[in-house]
């Protein structure tokens, strides 16, 4: 109601001011007259005589009357007389709103912004890639299966006329959600010079956790042969226990450098945590034998606690 009353009051005030500035009520002010000089339109050979435009004295942009000049088209003898166009003055009508008419404006409320964004579950996703040339052929496959268990896999292999470029890589990872969470990962690589395998399992239950990791790697080069093995096991069932072992064997032989080296490294760690104390057992053993420029050397290391 207040907004409607404000609109009506503003409209009536504008009408009163408009009536005060009518040209008929302005006695002391003289009308403004604009003179337009005569001109000739090129190409068409049209001549226009001078004309005048009379405006209201209070600055309205709407003229009181407009006089059009007379002109004659050269060469044709056809002439157009001048005209005077009188424009009516714009009057604002009185605005009356019945009292029985009541208007109400609706209320606007800002909707609350949702706090959670829901992302729909994805289905299965697969990817295939292949490349062929005269030297090498590549194949790659990958996929993600979102079902009862989430399984992801990747497989890539190559075949080539060069033996060093031939390889095969396979990997699989699965997440099981029955009776807790269990994440299992297997990764293997085979090549003429490098081979390896990784296997890990992590299980999370309400009262305990188990983890096991196993990694093996082999390197077979003309001058170097190496075998690496690593294992890690741990659980929190009756007591916190961790067992780790690392074993490394290597053989280096270079006839051009007149040197050979062979050696082994073995490390074991056993850790248990009880209620009042914890137990640690660690042992490290290693040996090395070799020769440089026909001079032999050897060494051993042993540590336990």
Cβ–Cβ contacts within 10 Å for residue 213, how many?
16
pLDDT tens-digit readout, 59-71? 445 556 666 667 6
Q: How far is residue 237's CA from residue 203's CA, in Å, rounded to a whole number? A: 12
**Which residues, 6+ apart, have CB-to-CB distance to 174 below 8 Å?**
149, 150, 151, 152, 183, 184
Does residue 85 have a pLDDT over 70? Answer: no
Above pLDDT 90, what percent of the chain? 37
- What six digits make up the tokens of 85? 């166009």
Q: Is the pLDDT of residue 128 over 70?
A: yes
Whether the per-residue pLDDT at 12 is higher than 80: the answer is no
Is the pLDDT confidence value at 103 over 50? no
Q: How far apart are CA 155 and CA 143, in angstroms?
A: 9
- The pLDDT tens digits for 153-194 are 999 999 998 888 899 999 999 988 887 889 999 999 999 999
Q: How confident is the model at residue 199 (pLDDT cuts 50, 70, 90)?
A: very high
* Domain boundaries of the chain, sorted by first residue: 23-86, 130-304
Determine the pLDDT at residue 240: 79
- Residue 100's pLDDT is what? 45
CA distances, 20 to each of 12, 149, 170 (Å): 13, 86, 94
Indicate the pTM of the whole model: 0.57
pLDDT of residue 167: 94
What is the rounded (10 degree) CA torsion for 11, 16, 21, 24? 120
240: its two tokens: 């916190």
pLDDT at residue 21 above 90? Answer: no
Question: Closest Cα to residue 248, out of 222, 275, 218, 270?
Answer: 218
Is 83's pLDDT higher than 80?
Answer: no
| SS3 at position 101 | coil
pLDDT bucket at 52, cuts 50 / 70 / 90: low
Q: Which residue has the tokens 């907004």?
A: 3
pLDDT at position 102 over 70: no
pLDDT for position 101: 45
> pLDDT at position 239, please?
75
State yes or no: pLDDT of 260 exceeds 80: yes
- Say if residues 304 and 282 touch (Cβ distance below 8 Å): yes
- Residue 150 to residue 181: CA distance in whole angstroms: 11
SS3 of 194, please? strand
Q: What is the mean pLDDT of residues 99-125?
A: 57
- Stretch among 144-148, 221-225, 272-276 having the lowest mean pLDDT: 272-276
For the segment 131-160, what is each residue's pLDDT rounded down to a tens digit?
999 889 999 999 988 877 889 999 999 999
Q: What would the two tokens of residue 92 be?
A: 């604002």
- Residue 24's pLDDT is 47
pLDDT, residue 23, reads 44
DSSP state of 256: G
Residues 202, 183 contacting (CB under 8 angstroms): yes
Mean model confidence pLDDT for the chain:
78
pLDDT bucket at 125, cuts 50 / 70 / 90:
confident
Start-to-end Cα distance in the chain = 92
Mean pLDDT of 253-278: 86
Residue spans of beta strands (DSSP E) within the chain: 32-36, 39-41, 46-48, 51-55, 65-68, 71-73, 78-80, 83-86, 125-132, 136-146, 150-160, 167-176, 181-191, 194-204, 209-220, 224-235, 240-254, 259-273, 278-292, 295-304
Distance of alpha carbon 201 from alpha carbon 208, whole angstroms: 14
Residues 6 or more apart whose Cβ sits within 8 Å of residue 104? 1
Q: Please compute the mean of the pLDDT values over residues 226-246 and round it to a whole number.
A: 89
Do β-strands 194-204 and 209-220 pair in parallel, antiparallel, or remain unpaired? Answer: antiparallel
Q: What is the distance between the alpha carbons of residues 287 and 121, in angstroms, rounded to a whole number?
A: 56
DSSP secondary structure, 10-23, as one string: HHHHHHHHHHHT-T
pLDDT tens digits, 27-50: 445 556 667 777 666 655 566 667
């Amino acid at each position: 109601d207040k907004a409607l009353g404000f609109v009506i009051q503003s409209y009536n005030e504008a009408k009163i001011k408009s009536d005060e500035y009518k040209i008929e009520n302005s006695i002391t002010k003289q009308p403004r007259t604009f003179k337009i000089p005569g001109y000739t339109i090129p190409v068409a050979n049209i001549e226009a005589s001078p004309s005048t435009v009379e405006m209201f004295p209070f600055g309205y942009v709407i003229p009181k009357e407009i006089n059009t000049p007379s002109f004659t088209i050269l060469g044709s003898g056809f002439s157009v007389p001048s005209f005077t166009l009188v424009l009516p003055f714009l009057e604002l009508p009185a605005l009356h709103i019945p009292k029985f008419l009541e208007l109400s404006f609706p209320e606007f409320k800002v909707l609350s912004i949702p706090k959670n964004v829901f992302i729909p579950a994805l289905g299965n996703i697969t990817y295939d890639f292949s490349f062929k040339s005269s030297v090498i052929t590549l194949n790659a496959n990958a996929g993600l299966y979102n079902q009862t268990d989430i399984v992801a896999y990747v497989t890539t292999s190559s075949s080539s006329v060069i033996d060093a470029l031939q390889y095969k890589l396979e990997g699989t990872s699965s997440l099981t959600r029955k009776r807790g969470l269990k994440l299992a990962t297997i990764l293997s690589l085979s090549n003429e010079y490098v081979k390896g395998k990784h296997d890990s399992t992590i299980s999370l239950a309400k009262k305990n956790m188990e983890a096991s990791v196993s990694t093996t790697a082999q390197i077979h080069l003309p001058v170097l042969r190496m075998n690496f093995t690593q294992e890690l096991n741990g659980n929190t069932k009756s007591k916190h226990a961790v067992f780790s072992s690392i074993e490394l064997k290597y053989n280096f032989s270079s006839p051009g450098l007149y040197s050979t080296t062979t050696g082994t490294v073995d490390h074991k760690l056993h850790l248990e945590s009880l209620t009042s104390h914890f137990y640690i057992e660690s042992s490290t053993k290693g040996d090395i034998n070799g020769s440089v420029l026909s001079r032999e050397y050897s060494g051993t290391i042993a540590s336990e606690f």
